[in-house]
Amino acid sequence: MTMFGDWAMPVQYTGIVDEHNAVRSAAGVFDISHMGEFFVRGTNAADFLNHTLSNDVAKLAVGQGQYTLMCNELGGVIDDLILYRLAEDDYFLVVNAAKIGEDEKYLTQFLPAGVSFENASPRYAALALQGPKALTIARKFFGEAWPEPRRNAITHASWNCQDVLTARTGYTGEDGLELFFAPEIADNFFHGLLKAGETDGLKPCGLGARDTLRLEAGLPLNGNDLSLAHSAFAAGLEPFLGFAKEPIYPGKNVMMEQKAAGARFKLAAFRVPSGPPPRPHYHLFSGADAVGEVTSGAPSPTLGCGIGLAYLRADVAMPGTALEMEVRDRRVPVEVVKKPFYKRAA
């Protein structure tokens, strides 16, 4: 167990590699109750969110979700989140645990008329059910009446007469669901789900496997790979930055200028063909020049070598570039590669 903010969370149950492999080959369930849940509602909610968050809210049909960023005026990342549209004027936001307070302040600061905000985090526990068998298990667990969401969509399910939000999203690179429900039923829900997935190889998974899975999938971690130090554009998140939409959100103009001029640093992926795995804060070199710092790194259970993400000087951030990583006073060869490290078979 480890402390993550005020949450006591399991790093591992049976072992990080064991849990990691279960998610890649069958399924795993993660307790993500620490995540924050907000509701933004009202006739002006869409317009407000479109001026506050980066992605284009107008593209979001009822029942759909989208990955989006909350930036400061310089494009620095305050938080990355998923925005779901539950109904015409009813939006559900899932934010990082460590950012709940900051996000709430940011969103409520300039709340216009016709928009209401609720921090519903205390009302929700949550589990992520991830892996190639996740949907099979969910069908068994929720029964035939369950309206199965499509990729990135969200539906209402009923379990023992309790409302459960079932979103087809995740943070592992596998197909799967994120499930939101009342904390009062969490214990029964978790054990019921484990039971439903028993014959499909479902395993409980901790924070350790969550980190190696998301890193292989090239998904950034807020606080490590995303921060105020680099813009969301430098982080490679342009597809979620709504440059084509009309509304201006904080950081949009700065990041569009960065795009025109070219960012000085880029979040790039690299692998260590042989040698010690990369860890956050290791330095990368091109010859004698320090060209970047590692923000995430770990041994990849799927690839069998060290993998990492680092902000690299743009001229050495192209895939195929050979660099060196400093580890305990020596240099180890590394290679810049394309993201993601792992992509599931279609």
* DSSP code per residue over 219-285: ---BTTTBSTTSBTTTTT-GGGS-TTSSS--TTHHHHHHHHHH--SEEEEEEEESSSSPP-TT-EEE
Within 196-215, the residues that bind another protein by CB under 8 A are 208, 212
- Indicate whether 275 belongs to the interface with another protein (CB under 8 A): yes
30 vs 146, which CB is nearer to another protein? 30
Among 126, 167, 298, 334, binds another protein (CB under 8 A): 298
Q: In the complex, what is the shortest distance from the CB of residue 303 to another protein, in angstroms, rounded to a whole number?
A: 12
Regarding 17 and contact with another protein (CB under 8 A), the answer is yes
Rounded CA-CA distance 165/126 in Å is 9
The phi, psi pair for 138, rounded to 5°, reads -65, -40
Q: Is 223 in the site for another protein (CB under 8 A)?
A: no
Examine residue 328 and tell whether it contacts another protein (CB under 8 A). Answer: yes
Give the whole-angstrom CA distance, residue 237 versus residue 229.
15
Cβ contact 76:251 at 8 Å: yes
Q: Could you give the angle at the alpha carbon of 96 between the alpha carbons of 120 and 131, nearest 5°?
A: 100
Q: Which is nearer to another protein, 220 or 306 (CB)?
A: 306
Q: Is 3 in the site for another protein (CB under 8 A)?
A: no
The answer to whether 271 contacts another protein (rule: CB under 8 A) is: no
CA distances, 158 to each of 42, 129, 131, 146, 171 (Å): 25, 16, 22, 7, 24
Looking at this protein, which amino acid is placed at residue 307? I
Total residues in contact with another protein, by rule CB under 8 A: 16
306 and 212 Cβ atoms separated by less than 8 Å: no
User: Binding to another protein by residue 277, rule CB under 8 A?
Assistant: yes
Using the minimum distance from each CB to another protein, give the nearer residue, 168 or 210.
210
Question: Minimal distance in Å, beta carbon 203 to another protein?
Answer: 14
**Min CB(110)–another protein separation in Å:** 41
The least CB distance from residue 299 to another protein, in Å, is 4
Q: Is the Cβ–Cβ distance between 126 and 179 less than 8 Å?
A: yes
The footprint of another protein (CB under 8 A) covers: 11-12, 15-17, 20, 208, 212, 275-277, 279, 298-299, 301, 328
